[in-house]
Homo-oligomer: A and B are copies of this chain.
Amino acid sequence: MKKKLVKEITSRDQDFAQWYTDVCLKAELMDYSDAAGFIIYRPYGYEIWENIQNYLNKEFKRTGHQNVYMPLVITEALFNKEKEHVEGFAPEVAYLTSSFSEQEDRLIVRPTSEVLFCEHYRKIISSYRDLPKKYNQWCNVVRWEKTTRPFLRGKEFLWQEGHTVHSNEQEAREETLGMLEIYKEMGKNLLAIPFVTGKKTETEKFAGALETYSIEALMADGKALQSGTTHYFGQIFSKAFEISFQDQNSKLQYAYQTSWGVSTRLIGAVIMVHGDDDGLVLPPYLAPIQTVIIPIQSQRPEVMETAKNIEKRLENAGFRVHLDNTNRTPGWKFSEYEMKGVPLRIEFGPRDLANDEVVIAIRHNREKRNVKIANLEQTIKKLLADIHQKMYEKALAHVQENTKVIKDYKDFKQAIEQGGYIKMSVAGQEAELMIKEDYQATARVILDEPLSNEICPVTNKKATQTILFARAY
């Protein structure tokens, strides 16, 4: 094994949680702030988030959504309008106060913005001509979590939340499933993560929703991570907030609504799906730096000249490229950009140049190859596409190898302790709650599949649905 030159991190197998924290800090994705539970997004971490934003903004625009910005705060009167929603969020709300404000004027800092959108929609919607309204916002939200972990759970996190209003149920249902598909495709096209999608059980659904759908990812340690959700609200909120409209027959109707969101938690998913003992491994289309150029014997003028020339060529070809011409040693730089998960490294010294070649090192599988400088743009383009595909396939194989069908509850214990998904057809909530109590495994999604067994192995009642169980973050 390669000797580490600079930053030591815990081995992934030895202590996954510590490995995760080490990667977050040493790949310079984030840092802790003075206020417990609030993190700093450093440039390298924030640029990953910006790349997610750019991808999604294009998708949102393509599908007719508009960005808006709602206030940071919600009055208590407004917040209390939808009972189930309040009960779901009340334990973790934080308040904004000032020296001038009275206790009874307390403002709730948004833990999510359903009620802000509803109140606005109530005011601006009156006719079927005003529908649909399909808004999204990028913002920070605050939830008073007791235990926090970088990107996965924090007192503050960054996200997008889409909120839409429709004149009929079918269109709202299509929106709910359509946005789920956009998230799933983002996994496939950008994050190289094969998300399993499906409906949440009653126990796991969003406070106030009729139905919640989720994208679930399987981490390298065998635990699941809920990575995004879409919600179908029906008329629950529209009735609580009086969002009504005159239909084409001049009849007053309540509107149908959805909401959906993904957050900086996706950064955590990327780390835990792809990372290894040398640090972060980034999928190429997400990576802030797709190719790093590290010249060897850079004091030689022809070496530095070629390095700058290659940098310029690759930039012009549209790649995100970084030439490291600092006076650190090549070995230090190799480790540094491996830690940061840069997909490709171009290295070369005078001898390589004599052959019109450079060496390309591939981060995710540690392969190295000599390539001609002449066709570098095309080589890089092909390599990045190939890396993306292979990283996706590897993650998909991990999901497939770690999804077990269980028909006898006796087998559940061993399976869940090995990690991964367990597929089982059960009798519903009673079984779900027993499994949670017995093994701290939760229903990730209801699968849209035929039953794998007729009788629920947990309750011995008639099985009604096939559920994917896992221990989860």
Q: Which residues of A contact B (CB under 8 A)?
A: 31, 33-35, 38-43, 46-47, 49-50, 66-75, 77-78, 92-100, 107, 109, 116, 119-120, 123-124, 129, 135, 139-140, 142, 144, 146, 156, 158, 326
Which of chain B's residues have a CB closer than 8 A to the CB of A38? Answer: 71-73
Contact B97 A93 (CB under 8 A): no
How many Å from the CB of A68 to the closest CB on chain B?
5
The residues of B that contact A69 with a CB separation of less than 8 Å are 40-41, 46, 49, 158
Of B34, B43, B46, B94, the residue contacting A77 (CB under 8 A) is: B34
Whole-angstrom distance between the alpha carbons of A46 and B100 in the complex? 30
Given contacts A34-B116, A38-B72, 8 further A-B contacts (CB under 8 A): A33-B70, A40-B68, A40-B69, A40-B120, A50-B67, A71-B156, A94-B96, A96-B96
A41's partner among B68, B100, B129 (CB-CB below 8 A) is: B68
Q: How far is the CA of A278 from the CA of B95 in the complex (A)?
A: 41
Question: What's the nearest-Cβ distance from chain B to residue A82, in Å?
Answer: 14
17 contacts between A and B (CB under 8 A): A31-B120, A31-B124, A33-B116, A34-B116, A39-B71, A40-B68, A41-B68, A43-B67, A43-B68, A43-B135, A46-B67, A73-B156, A93-B99, A94-B96, A94-B97, A99-B144, A139-B140
Q: Are B34 and A119 in contact (CB under 8 A)?
A: yes
User: Knowing A93-B98, A96-B95 touch, does A72 contact B135 (C-beta < 8 A)?
Assistant: no
A418 to chain B, nearest CB (A): 37
Taken together as a complex, chains A and B put the C-alpha atoms of A69 and B158 apart, in Å, by 9
Report chain B residues within 8 Å CB of A47: 66-67
Nearest CB of B to A429, in Å: 30
Assembled-state Cα–Cα distance A156/B120 (Å)? 18
Number of copies of this protein chain within its complex: 2
A-B pairs with lowest CB-CB distance, top 5: A38-B71, A43-B66, A41-B69, A98-B144, A94-B98
Tell me the minimal C-beta distance from A329 to chain B in angstroms: 14
A193 CA / B41 CA spacing, docked (Å): 34
Closest residue on chain B to residue A50 by CB atoms: B67
Contact A72 B142 (CB under 8 A): yes
Taking CB atoms, residues of chain B closer than 8 Å to A92 are 98
Q: Which residue of B lies closest to A96 (CB)?
A: B94
Task: Name A31's contact: one of B34, B35, B66, B123 (CB within 8 Å).
Answer: B123
For A35, A41, A109, A139, the residue with the greatest tally of chain B CB atoms inside 10 Å of its CB is A35
Q: Which residue of B lies closest to A95 (CB)?
A: B97
CA distance A306 to B249 in the complex (A): 32
Please give, as numbers and ranges, the residues of chain B lying within 8 Å of A120 by CB-CB distance: 31, 33, 40
Measured CA separation A70–B71 after assembly (Å): 19
A47 to B57, CA, bound (A): 12
Give the chain B neighbours of A326 by CB distance below 8 A. 129
Closest to A90 in B: B99
